[in-house]
Amino acid sequence: MSERWVIEASRVEVSELISKCLQARDMAYCPYSRFPVGAAVLAADGTIITGCNVENASYGLTVCAERTAIQRAVVEGHRQFTAIAVTCDIEDRFVGPCGACRQVLMEFGTDWIVYLTKPDGSYKETSLSELLPLAFSPAHLKKDK
Ligand code: THU
């Protein structure tokens, strides 16, 4: 497999990831905040799993789009991920995942690429380690410290 082919493939994967997170945002159940969020995670085998925020009349039970995607992915057998794209309706700046979702992503690796995506499909690439520096992770629970 030539290096060029791999680069092209990953470019295609990124644009698919971006469009799937935008589609997922359209499925958001957010009657209380009216703030739809979409997420799409890229598993190590190339599968894309999406999520949207799912709110509840008991507001604290709301689940963010990122966590919905992770939970679906785990149920479907995925535990290794390379990237996540997230989007909301804010057009004039790039918006990152909430702190709780950053921690949930950290459970499944420190090396995530994170694409902060605007409604027009433009995105800013960052990383989980940049978004959650000095994080607590599963590695800290290992006995042989
Ligand atoms: N929300 C997410 O889905 N992801 C985040 O990272 C931040 C917030 C949702 C939760 C709630 O339904 C709405 O956005 C407003 O907070």
| Residues marked as catalytic | 66
* Distance from residue 139's CA to the centre of ligand 1 (Å): 28
Question: Measured from the CB, is residue 103 less than 6 Å from ligand 1?
Answer: no
Ligand 1 nearest-atom number relative to CA 30: 12
Domains in the chain with CATH codes: 11-141 (3.40.140.10)
Q: How confident is the model at residue 144 (pLDDT cuts 50, 70, 90)?
A: low
Ligand 1 nearest-atom number relative to CA 55: 12
**Concatenated DSSP letters for 4-47?**
HHHHHHHHHHHHHHHHHHHHHHTT-B-TTT----EEEEEETTS-
Per residue in 26-53, pLDDT (tens digit) is 999 999 999 999 999 999 999 999 999 9
Q: How much is the pTM?
A: 0.94
